[in-house]
Amino acid sequence: MRKKLVVGNWKMHGSHSHNAALLAGIVAGRPFGCDVAVCVPFPYLGEVAVAWAGSELRWGAQDCSAHEQGAYTGEVSAAMLADFGCRYAIVGHSERRAMHGESDQLVADKAKAALARGITPIVCVGETLGQREQGTAQATVKRQLSAVIHALGHCVGEMVVAYEPVWAIGTGVTATPEQAQEMHALIRAQLRAATAHAAAMTLLYGGSMKPENAPALLAQQDIDGGLIGGAALKAADFIAICRAAG
């Protein structure tokens, strides 16, 4: 039985005062019967690390450089994330693929760089609405995942995969539990062909997950948790989703 994982992706939201209240609110909502993490903007990693030190709650970043160190202005390395106690780094979020031109290969390199420093990459995959309408959703996800599988080699089983259909992100439109499960099953089958650990791997769903729709999504066989955007910014909503996963 896989333990569920709920991860809040704060995206580019937050302030010292908002963060303090949100982090304390989540602490007050414990215990959760699942693993819980937040992936926060880089400048706020230090305050999460202080606020949640010594607790079972986890934190991470929303990106990670593919490079180890050097003249890469604006980049943040996996070693730096490890310095701040990060457990996770989201890589390949569709917003970065679309707005920063991140290729499948770059995403794979970032996942590899994170793992090399003991940070679990949360690798995001997902099709656009156009790709779904053209019938290429499965091929798109397969291609995105293939690049990471190839780059990680025998470490494939150590990543977390998040299926985030682009058309469901921030739109209020959620994939139906059946649509999400169908893609998750395909993802797990692809992983099974690459690693003996596929059955134990954590596959998250992301895209307008909310307290109302979380129970049905999380009840699906291959959905092991959520990657939560908007609903992760309100303690009550995030806690409700964590409880649904517990």
Q: Please state, as a whole number, how many other Cβ atoms lie within 10 Å of the Cβ of residue 6.
A: 28
Task: Tell me which residue has tokens 């995403």.
Answer: 107
Q: CB 9 → ligand 13P: shortest distance, Å?
A: 4
Identity (one letter) of the amino acid at 122? Answer: I
Within positions 169 to 188, which residues make up the interface with ligand 13P, using CB under 6 A? 169-170
- For ligand 13P, the binding residue among 6, 9, 92, 175 (CB under 6 A) is 9
User: For residue 17, what are the contacts with CB-CB under 8 A and spacing of at least 6?
Assistant: none
> Under 8 Å CB-to-CB from 21, ≥6 apart: which residues?
235
> Binding to ligand 13P by residue 206, rule CB under 6 A?
yes
Q: Is 229 in the site for ligand 13P (CB under 6 A)?
A: yes
Q: Which residue is nearest to ligand 13P (CB)?
A: 229
Q: Does 230 bind ligand 13P (CB under 6 A)?
A: yes
Q: Assign 163 to helix, strand or coil.
A: strand
- 3-state secondary structure at position 64: coil
What residue has token string 């970065």?
96
Minimum Å gap between C-beta 187 and ligand 13P is 16
Catalytic residue among 154, 164, 178, 184: 164
Which residue among 6, 227, 235, 240 contacts ligand 13P (CB under 6 A)? Answer: 227
**Which stretches of the chain bind ligand 13P, using CB under 6 A?**
9, 93, 164, 169-170, 206-209, 227-231
